């Protein structure tokens, strides 16, 4: 960016003048964080009236469907516009072909129905990916050589997305990074009459080391056993490639774009928003959350101030909204 000589030299220009008082700082503030920017990820488990703590994510709980419905009502009162739902699947229901992913009475599908019944105005975003349902923990179907096959996986993802839409999901969010899955899902949604079901594409999802606590939370880490997802998730070294991925998914029918992880990839968020000018979201992932919480617990960082500052950084980078485990806490802080 080149700065043209609009302002005069010091002392005609004193940049600190506008910072001297609270009212003037507020008047010239370039970016604002509000509750409308927040999406809360939620983990759902089988059972009734039960919660489970996620050890690697302090303060985050897995909830049964009935408690999730009550949580939905609380989030509406806070003004949070949407949640992102992730099922924790019993190992007995995992398989090589991930057939439980599109069970119409599956855990995710029942959770969607319960939340929409309890709080119809709350947006429900569902994860379209097979890693919670595969016995090997990968996001797709695996061939005999251990390679994740693309087109056969897409066929299963389409069935999964349709089952979510039929359950009442407002947004399906493919996070698998298979080629061509957005177009296939969009065509299937249109054919089945789900013309207003939105697609939030995890178009720039990196093969990141920041996902560990999430994999613990959904129970896929043990199945993955250290396996790599580098054959389908993006190389952290690449930025230009992200723009191509996003543009392709938009052409196929995506309504919104997701960049994941968040803070380590804010440069990608900025490039996507600037170049494509479409609704752009980012995920402050489990590893980011865990790092912050560790610093808070050790007294190294001020919890409330850092939560809001970290979320504001997404807005400054150009994100229209943020998936964050701090969403509920941040919503309360923004009300004070």
Yes or no: say if 171 and 199 are a contact pair by the CB < 8 Å rule. yes
Provide the 10 A C-beta neighbour count for residue 18.
11
Nearest to 189 by CA among 212, 211, 169, 214: 169
Yes or no: say if 284 and 262 are a contact pair by the CB < 8 Å rule. yes
Which residue among 71, 116, 229, 260 is the active-site one? 260
Which residue among 94, 116, 205, 315 is the active-site one? 205
Residue 62 contacts by C-beta under 8 Å, 6 or more apart in sequence?
43, 44, 45, 51, 52, 54, 88, 217
Cα dist. 220→124, 205, 214, 233, 301 in Å? 22, 17, 9, 16, 31
What tokens does 34 get? 């509000």
Nearest to 282 by CA among 247, 246, 331: 246
Provide the 10 A C-beta neighbour count for residue 250.
18
Beta strands in the chain (DSSP E): 38-45, 51-53, 61-64, 82-87, 123-128, 171-174, 198-205, 256-260, 280-284, 321-324
Helix (H, G, I), strand (E, B) or coil at 127: strand
- DSSP characters for 53-110? E-TTSTT-EEEEHHHHHHHHHHHHHHT--EEEEEE---GGG-BTT-GGGG-TTSHHHH
260 is catalytic: yes
Cα dist. 178→71, 126, 206 in Å? 32, 17, 13
- Catalytically annotated residues: 205, 260
């Amino acid at each position: 960016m080149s700065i043209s000589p609009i302002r005069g030299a010091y002392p005609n220009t004193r940049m600190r003048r506008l910072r001297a008082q609270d009212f003037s700082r507020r008047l010239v503030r370039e970016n604002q964080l509000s509750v409308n920017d927040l999406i809360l990820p939620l983990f759902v488990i089988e059972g009734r009236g039960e919660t489970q703590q996620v050890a690697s994510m302090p303060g985050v709980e897995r909830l049964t469907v009935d408690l999730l419905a009550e949580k939905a009502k609380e989030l509406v009162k806070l003004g949070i516009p949407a949640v992102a739902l992730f099922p924790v699947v019993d190992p007995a229901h995992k398989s090589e072909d991930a057939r439980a992913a599109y069970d119409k009475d599956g855990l995710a599908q029942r959770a969607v129905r319960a939340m929409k019944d309890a709080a119809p105005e709350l947006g429900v975003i569902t994860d379209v990916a097979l890693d919670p349902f595969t016995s090997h923990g990968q996001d797709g179907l695996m061939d005999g050589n251990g390679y994740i096959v693309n087109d056969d996986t897409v066929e299963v993802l389409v069935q999964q997305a349709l089952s979510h839409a039929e359950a009442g999901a407002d947004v399906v969010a493919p996070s698998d990074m298979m080629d061509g899955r957005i177009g296939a899902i969009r065509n299937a949604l249109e054919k089945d009459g789900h013309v207003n079901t939105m697609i939030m594409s995890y178009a720039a999802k990196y093969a990141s080391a920041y996902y560990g606590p999430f994999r613990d939370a959904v129970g896929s880490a043990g199945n993955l056993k250290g396996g790599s997802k580098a054959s389908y998730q993006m190389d952290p070294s690449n930025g230009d490639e992200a723009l191509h991925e996003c543009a392709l998914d938009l052409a196929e029918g995506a309504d919104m774009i997701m960049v994941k992880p968040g803070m380590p990839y804010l440069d990608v968020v900025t490039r996507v928003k600037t170049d494509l000018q479409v609704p752009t979201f980012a995920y402050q992932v489990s590893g980011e959350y865990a790092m912050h919480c560790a610093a808070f617990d050790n007294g190294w960082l001020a919890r409330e101030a850092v939560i809001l500052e970290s979320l504001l950084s997404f807005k400054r980078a150009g994100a229209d909204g943020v998936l964050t485990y701090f969403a509920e806490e941040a919503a309360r802080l923004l009300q004070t």
